[in-house]
Structure 1
Amino acid sequence: MIVSPVAIVDPSTEPRLDSARYASPRLLADIGGTNARFALETGPGTAGLIEVLPCAAYATLADALRAYLALPHVAAVGAVRHGAIAIANPIVGDFVRMTNHHWEFSIEALRRECGFDALAVVNDFYALAMALPHLADSEKRQVGGGAPVAGSPIGLLGAGTGLGVSGLVPAENLPAGTKPAWTALRSEGGHVTFSPANETEVAILQFAWREFEHVSAERFLSGSGLELIYRALANLRGGAVEALDAPEITRRGLAGTCVVCDEVIEVFCGMLGTIAGNLAVTLGAQGGVYIGGGIVPRLGERFAASCFRARFEQKGRFAGYLAQVPTYVITADYPAFVGVSAILADHPGV
């Protein structure tokens, strides 16, 4: 699979009507458990008219999609006949029921309802994985490790409403001189069983068992996971447990106004380091491990100063191996659009 990068242009800029324009604009969508992000691709490498709509404001995905297409500056571009949607959910067959939101739909019914000739729907981290080879240096920040090994597998994970996991595996035996080709993994690795790495995490896990029969990595490495870690630590430390949501926990932790909230961030980063290291050794990801999602980029330098990297390398006899594997935080604003555009390019019928 050979894909081409897409440059995201200023969303306030009207697409040019020139010879590079497609016969009709193509919808690009990135659907998470909290927000639905939409854009139009009007030609190879040209995407804009980006809008972010709250999922909770719409009863169905079709409603949100129609609301976007009905915006005057979007509708003025012309009818949309083709589209690709990345969604935070496994895609098995035609019917999709979101894990972290109430939306559910038939892909074929959605295509007909919105008047598309063709519609591709893929897992959001599958789409994000497709974007990784095309990220500019300015769209990622390295946190530890050495240089990536060209042509080696690449790992990907990211915490937001849930914990997404994917990766890229290079194609073998390509003709000399051809561009690298990649296979993106359709993974649901965020739902692996959580494994504690120290006594504090054992206590947090025991607290979580009071609420959940199965505690996955996603139970902690997500927005609701930050809240669960906070409740567990506040209970463990014997302090008052306030009704704090994830943004407030993060704000207080970064501001240094709450000792427990600061510890929540540190524990979260350590847990993420262990899971990222597990992914690296599982895939042999000497091409690097990338961190996406909505939480880590907001932590800024606090993430780089955390125990993440030490925990990433904490694999006993494989510590030396992992010390060479680079880890990156994705800082691009809309990287999934690059991935869904690549998927459109790979489907001539779309």
Structure 2
Amino acid sequence: MAHLILIADIGGTSSRLALVGVDGVPTDIQIHRNDSFKGFEAMIEADLATRDPAVVAAIGGAVLAVAGPADAEFVKLTNRDWSFSKRAIRRYFGWQKFAAVNDFEALAHGVTALGTGDLIPVGEGLSEPRGPVLICGPGTGFGVAGLIQSGRLPAVITGEGGRSRLGATDAEEARLLAHMVGELGPVVVEHALSGSGLARIHRISTGEAISPEAVITAAGRGDDGALATCNLFLRIFGRIAGDLALTFNARGGVFLAGGVSAGLAPFFAASPFREAFEEHPPHEARLAGMAVNIITHPTPGLIGCGQLGARMARSLKPGLHLV
């Protein structure tokens, strides 16, 4: 059997694992709740135990996309107490090759492979071929990456944009920020733009402490308080996305990722998102010309991991495994 690569998109809440070969197409996708496991090794072992032993024996490497910085030897999730050493995990599983990347770096590698059925446009705008691309969005935290398409292979820029300080632009945002400072101290973007941030905004605005999923469900029923929460969230999201689009000069398009973006997809069109995105004087026209799309593909991180895994699969030496 040809060498296979195990690929994984590991978030703060759940993990998606699959297999990929030289074609880069993820197969046999499995989804796991992270609360069921003590750490990376336990979760991966449980996943492999569900697969055909002959298939597991053919796995020669792995690409893990993690919700946190991945550019050092020691990798730790930002919003969960999980960590690993790259050398140690590679030897633990006997893989010939191993790579860890930030989860938004994986998303960036995959966005150009998404089709129109995987995206919902937000407003007008066109993507400039091979122009810089921005990927950002809220999930358990708030992720940011940029894709530079010049050259033979695309280059991805990642960072911890979700930890940038959050400001306010009007009285409503100032009141919200004041409450958050009182509760949290210095406030960063993902304190507002994340799943927990959506619930936090709703609690501060209405006094009702419910889950982010419940906020979205209530908004879908037409609840005024929940709709107001979603609109405030999307206004802040639009402003931050506009800030980042200017920073990256995202003429190649802006892709909104993360489970919260997908969950709020029905509300974007009637929300202040696009207005806040463009309202960056004197650059309104530049931002108005940028295409913005919500990613609705169920496992977009695996698409990017698949692209990286295909390159790794082509480089494996037949029959070699670590012991």
Question: What band does the TM-score fall into relative to the shorter chain?
Answer: over 0.9
Aligned identity (percent) is 33
Q: Does 1:325 align with 2:285?
A: no
1:246 maps to: 212
1:198 maps to: 170
After superposition, the Cα gap between the structure-2 partners of 1:112 and 1:149, relative to the gap in structure 1 and judged at 3 Å, is same
Task: State the SS of the aligned residue for 1:81.
Answer: strand
Cα deviation for residue 344 of structure 1 reads: 2.8
Task: State the SS of the aligned residue for 1:295.
Answer: helix
d(CA) in 1 for partners of 2:4 and 2:195? 34
Q: Does 1:186 align with 2:158?
A: yes
Return 219-228 or 293-302, whichever deviates more. Answer: 293-302
Which of 124, 131, 137 is the aligned partner of 1:152? Answer: 131
What are the within-5 Å matches in structure 2 for residues 1-350 of structure 1?
Answer: 23-71=2-50, 73-79=51-57, 80-171=59-150, 174=151, 181-234=153-206, 241-257=207-223, 259-347=224-312, 349=315
Letter in 1 for 2:188: S
Task: State the SS of the aligned residue for 1:215.
Answer: coil
Letter in 1 for 2:250: A
Letter in 1 for 2:53: A
d(CA) in 1 for partners of 2:175 and 2:56? 57
Cα deviation for residue 302 of structure 1 reads: 1.3
Cα deviation for residue 215 of structure 1 reads: 0.6
Alignment coverage as a number of residue pairs: 314
After superposition, the Cα gap between the structure-2 partners of 1:75 and 1:159, relative to the gap in structure 1 and judged at 3 Å, is farther
d(CA) in 2 for partners of 1:296 and 1:75? 37
Task: State the SS of the aligned residue for 2:182.
Answer: coil
Letter in 1 for 2:119: K
- TM-score for both structures, normalised by structure 1: 0.86
Cα deviation for residue 82 of structure 1 reads: 0.8
d(CA) in 2 for partners of 1:335 and 1:242? 33
Tell me, yes or no, if the aligned pair for 1:118 and 1:349 is still in contact at 8 Å.
no
The higher-RCO structure (CA 8 Å, 6+ apart) is 2
Cα deviation for residue 115 of structure 1 reads: 2.2
d(CA) in 2 for partners of 1:230 and 1:264? 5
Cα deviation for residue 291 of structure 1 reads: 0.2
Task: State the SS of the aligned residue for 2:184.
Answer: coil
Cα deviation for residue 349 of structure 1 reads: 4.3
Return 248-257 or 266-275, whichever deviates more. Answer: 248-257
Gaps of 5+ in 2: 317-323
**Cα RMSD (Å) of the superposition?**
1.6
Gaps of 5+ in 1: 1-21, 175-179, 235-240
d(CA) in 1 for partners of 2:54 and 2:117? 33
d(CA) in 1 for partners of 2:271 and 2:198? 15
d(CA) in 2 for partners of 1:78 and 1:153? 38
Task: State the SS of the aligned residue for 1:85.
Answer: strand
Task: State the SS of the aligned residue for 1:155.
Answer: strand
d(CA) in 1 for partners of 2:309 and 2:25? 13
Tell me, yes or no, if the aligned pair for 2:24 and 2:307 is still in contact at 8 Å.
no
**Cα deviation per residue 1:128-172 (whole Å; 9 max; x = unaligned)?**
00111111121112111221111211111011000000011132x
Tell me, yes or no, if the aligned pair for 2:124 and 2:288 is still in contact at 8 Å.
yes
d(CA) in 2 for partners of 1:142 and 1:313? 15
2:320 maps to: none
Letter in 1 for 2:158: R
